[in-house]
């Protein structure tokens, strides 16, 4: 008889728990739909060429501005390739000997070389040909006189295709190339 009473008590307790669902009066059942679901986004930090990781490998590139007249001036290469997450070191040399052949190099967003070069002319030599609107510019050098050089060191931008261009007046059409970050 005791076994029957014990079994009845257990069965009754289980029935009570099942019918109540094990929830307190304040708990509600919630259903999450796909549109309600929270998806964590990657933090986006703007590109800062000065934010160099001291432990990042260095990718060194030699780039020359060559030619002593407008018809033959050029960069020594049409494409620069670097790896994402590296420190870029460009050894930029103006190999010209004619005093009129001054050059610089800008790294710009893809498809903006002409717009940046045009704005650079308006900025003029007092601003080192750097326009006020820098939204398409990632990195710039100084204007180099013939025979001068400059080492440019900056953090590689995010993976993608960019451009490099000389923004000295009248140069951008001949002195431009692809800057690819893999």
pLDDT of residue 44: 63
Phi, psi of 15 (to 5 degrees): -60, -40
pLDDT of residue 95: 98
Q: Give pLDDT tens digits along the chain (182 positions).
A: 444 444 444 444 444 444 444 444 444 444 444 444 444 444 467 899 999 999 999 999 999 999 999 999 999 999 999 999 999 999 999 999 999 999 999 999 999 999 999 999 999 999 999 999 999 999 999 999 999 999 999 999 999 999 999 999 999 999 999 999 99
If one looks up domain 58-181 in CATH, what number appears? Answer: 2.60.40.420
Partner residues linked to 18 by β-bridges: none
Reported pTM: 0.74
pLDDT of residue 45: 74
pLDDT of residue 28: 42
């Amino acid at each position: 008889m005791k076994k029957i009473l014990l079994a009845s008590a257990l069965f009754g307790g289980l029935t009570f728990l099942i019918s109540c669902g094990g929830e307190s009066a304040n708990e509600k059942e919630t259903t999450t739909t796909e549109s309600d679901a929270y998806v964590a986004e990657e933090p986006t930090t703007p590109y800062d060429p000065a934010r160099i990781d001291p432990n990042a490998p260095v990718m060194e590139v030699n780039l020359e501005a060559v030619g002593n007249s407008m018809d033959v001036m050029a960069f020594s290469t049409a494409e620069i390739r670097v790896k994402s997450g590296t420190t870029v070191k460009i050894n930029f040399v103006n190999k010209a000997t004619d005093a009129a052949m001054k050059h610089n190099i800008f790294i710009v967003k893809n498809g903006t070389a002409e717009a940046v070069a045009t704005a650079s002319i308006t900025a003029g030599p007092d601003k080192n040909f750097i326009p006020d609107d820098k939204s398409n510019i990632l990195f710039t050098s100084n204007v180099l006189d013939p025979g001068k050089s400059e080492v440019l060191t900056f953090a590689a931008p995010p993976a993608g295709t960019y451009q490099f261009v000389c923004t000295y007046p009248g140069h951008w059409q001949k002195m431009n190339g692809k800057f690819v970050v893999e």
